[in-house]
Amino acid sequence: MTAFMQFLKDLLYDSGKAFGLIYDGGHKIWAGFNLPPLTLDIIFLLIAAACAAAFIAINALFIIWFERKISARMQLRRGPNRVGIFGIFQTVADTIKLLIKEDITPKAVDKLAFFLGPLLVMTSTFMVFLVMPFGKGLIAADLNIGVIYILAVTGLTVLGLLCAGWGSNNKYSLIGGMRSAAQIVSYEIPNVLVMLTIVLLSGSMKLGDIIAAQPTVGYVWMQPVAFIIFLIASNAEINRGPFDLPEAESELVSGFITEYSGMKFAFFFLAEYTNLFIAGALGAVLFLGGWTGPVLPPFMWFMIKSYFVVFLLMWIRWTFPRIRVDHLMEFAWKVLIPIALLNLVVTAFVIKFH
């Protein structure tokens, strides 16, 4: 009995150990049936991927409700409050509605690119969860190139947006897609430089090592400038206000998603909100110490910190008016990148002479 309690405790506080037990036990039973061990490995891999998919779906349902509630409160409204208690099932109802809506494919579209758009955007978003450290040992694969992997995979989003914009064969979509590609690549640079600074401090690209290298208060106190740049750049990278030029309703209808409907539209929406969560989670991992914290299980700490950063991003979105496109692009290149480069060099000097 105590062994079982210990196992449950491990599952909460030291998931890596518990998963190791499950893995070894599974292999023992599997060997008893005389089956090749590789098949069991593949089953474990698929279970992990399925867990990530379930997490993305549930988390998106919650985060969309959260954003609607926050925005409502900031505008002195009530927000969704009909479906379920506090309207928490509103997004479930919306998803079911989108699932049974007609998926219109206009005649003029390039069919392949039109389908590749949501596919690439959603795939790249999904792939980031491979290296997301949800808790102690609660990580699909702690790649030793973690940070570069995240940058590489999120870079794929741009291709999806370009496919969607070009494939829609609609002028609004084209302009929206080009604008958002230009915006994402511009704001990716400050983000990369910020991550470079963090890697410089921790001496590793592995997200697990970055968390372990942080002091208890996190890197945010050592790198306040980097944290602010990170917030601005990730807000722009996920196309959210005040940088939501690509889908500026008043001029571009809704940018690259103008022609999409049904489930393809839903995937763009899902990717957008999952990217919001990823930005929050990266902020938590790189600056706030990830899953470390007293008393509560690591997973809870990870979610609390991530949602704290997500709340900051939402606060920014619902407070500032949309800025002009020329200001947006020049701000990235003429302000953020020089500051980020300077921050990098100063950090390098401080590390060497400290």
Partner 1 sequence: MEYGMLLAFLVFALIFVVGGVAANWLLMPHKPNATKNSTYECGVEPISDANIRYNIRFYVYALMYVVFAVEAVFLFPWAVVFKEIPGLMPLFEAVLFILILVLALAYAWKKGALKWD
142: which DSSP letter? -
Q: Which residues pair with 138 in a beta bridge?
A: 135
The least distance separating partner 1 from the CB of residue 178, rounded to whole angstroms, comes to 5
Binding partner 1 by CB under 8 A: which of 79, 87, 118, 137? 118
Nearest to 174 by CA among 244, 95, 253, 100: 253
Instruction: Identify which of residues 87 and 94 has a Cβ nearer to partner 1 in the complex.
Output: 94
58 touches 91 (CB < 8 A): no
Nearest to 306 by CA among 329, 328, 320, 289: 289
Given the rule CB under 8 A, which of 48-56, 64-72, 229-237, 295-303 is the region that contacts partner 1?
Answer: 48-56
Should residue 225 be labelled a site residue for partner 1 when binding is judged by CB under 8 A? no
127 touches 93 (CB < 8 A): no
Instruction: Identify which of residues 127 and 312 has a Cβ nearer to partner 1 in the complex.
Output: 127
The least distance separating partner 1 from the CB of residue 47, rounded to whole angstroms, comes to 9
The least distance separating partner 1 from the CB of residue 269, rounded to whole angstroms, comes to 12
Nearest to 291 by CA among 122, 69, 190, 142: 142
Instruction: Identify which of residues 301 and 331 has a Cβ nearer to partner 1 in the complex.
Output: 331
Given the rule CB under 8 A, which of 1-9, 25-33, 94-102, 220-228 is the region that contacts partner 1?
Answer: 94-102
Subset of 50-89 contacting partner 1 (CB under 8 A) = 50, 52-53
Binding partner 1 by CB under 8 A: which of 143, 220, 296, 300? 143
The least distance separating partner 1 from the CB of residue 328, rounded to whole angstroms, comes to 8
Should residue 335 be labelled a site residue for partner 1 when binding is judged by CB under 8 A? no
First to last CA, the chain: 52
Query: Measured between alpha carbons, how far is 354 from 348 in angstroms, rounded to an integer?
Result: 10
User: What is the residue-wise DSSP string for 77-122?
Assistant: -----SSSGGGTTHHHHHHHHHHTS-----TTS-HHHHHHHHHHHH
Per-residue interface string for the shown chain with partner 1, residues 252-281, x marking contact by CB under 8 A: -x----xx--xxx-xx--------------
Spatial CB neighbours of 238, under 8 Å, sequence gap ≥ 6: 272, 275, 276, 279
The least distance separating partner 1 from the CB of residue 333, rounded to whole angstroms, comes to 5
The least distance separating partner 1 from the CB of residue 85, rounded to whole angstroms, comes to 27
Size of the site for partner 1 (CB under 8 A): 83
Spatial CB neighbours of 118, under 8 Å, sequence gap ≥ 6: 160, 164, 260, 264, 267, 268, 271
Subset of 166-205 contacting partner 1 (CB under 8 A) = 166, 168-175, 178, 181-182, 185-186, 188-189, 192-193, 196, 199-200, 203-205
Instruction: Identify which of residues 287 and 301 has a Cβ nearer to partner 1 in the complex.
Output: 287
Instruction: Identify which of residues 94 and 297 has a Cβ nearer to partner 1 in the complex.
Output: 94
Quick one: CA dihedral 213, 215, 216, 218, positive or negative?
negative
Should residue 296 be labelled a site residue for partner 1 when binding is judged by CB under 8 A? no
The least distance separating partner 1 from the CB of residue 121, rounded to whole angstroms, comes to 9
Should residue 35 be labelled a site residue for partner 1 when binding is judged by CB under 8 A? no
Give the position of tokens 């995979």: 153
Should residue 14 be labelled a site residue for partner 1 when binding is judged by CB under 8 A? no
